Amino acid sequence: MKNYSIHYSYKGIGDVIIILFDNKKKPTHSVSKGRVTVVYHDEEIIGYNIFDVKDIVKIRNEGMIHFPSPQLIEVINTILINAKVEPLEILKESGYYVGQIKLIKPIDAEKNLVSIELKDETVNGVTKNQNLKISDKVVVAKVGTHLNNGDIVKESENGDVVINAHICTNSELGIDNNDEIFIVDEDIENGKDFFTTEVI
């Protein structure tokens, strides 16, 4: 399975790892295989739920695990393989990158088009936040990246401009509970993956 997100919140939902492949499709049925429940939309697998994991692996995260470590994926894959379901690919990057704002252009009274320079490319996002300024560094999620609400960033158009990134807030990055855009330390290099490998 290539494109997925992993969520764990012991305080919120208990001792279950939730793996989402497609959050937009509604579950039609599920099949339990030991501690793994495979969730389907018709014949398509849209997620896994893995129960009772705290005695196998210690996860300190609350919410989405933006960049799961290879060690965590190996533990999950052992459980999945034992349940005879398809394992996950180990992620090489999180999909979240640091970039510097090069252009802010009003779209309407509420929204701005923001062009952000990464290492070797410029991406475009849209935000309602009016406090951003040129040269601020922000975190963007590129096309195909899962957000913490289960959505996947998709490419769209605004006039003749391609929107191909999502500008991330504090809550989306798991930093704070507010929806302010997170401003990155200016010393962090453009194009750097924002998340380091998490310790399990």
| pLDDT at 1 (0 to 100) | 57
- How many angstroms separate the CA atoms of 35 and 67, rounded? 23
Residue 38 shares a structural domain with residue 106: no
What is the domain-level CATH number for residue 141?
A: 2.40.50.140
Q: Mean pLDDT across the stretch 74-86?
A: 96
Range of the domain at 54: 5-82
Residue 15 shares a structural domain with residue 68: yes
* Amino acid (1-letter code) at residue 117: E
- Give the burial string for 141-165 (b: 16+ CB within 10 Å, else e): bbbebbbbeeebbeeeeeeeeebbb
Give the domain-ending residue among 56, 82, 108: 82
Single pTM value for the model: 0.85
Residue 160 shares a structural domain with residue 135: yes
| Residue 88 covered by a domain | no
| pLDDT at 23 (0 to 100) | 83
Residue 60 shares a structural domain with residue 115: no
Give the domain-ending residue among 33, 58, 82: 82
Residue 66 shares a structural domain with residue 98: no
pLDDT above 50 (res 200): no
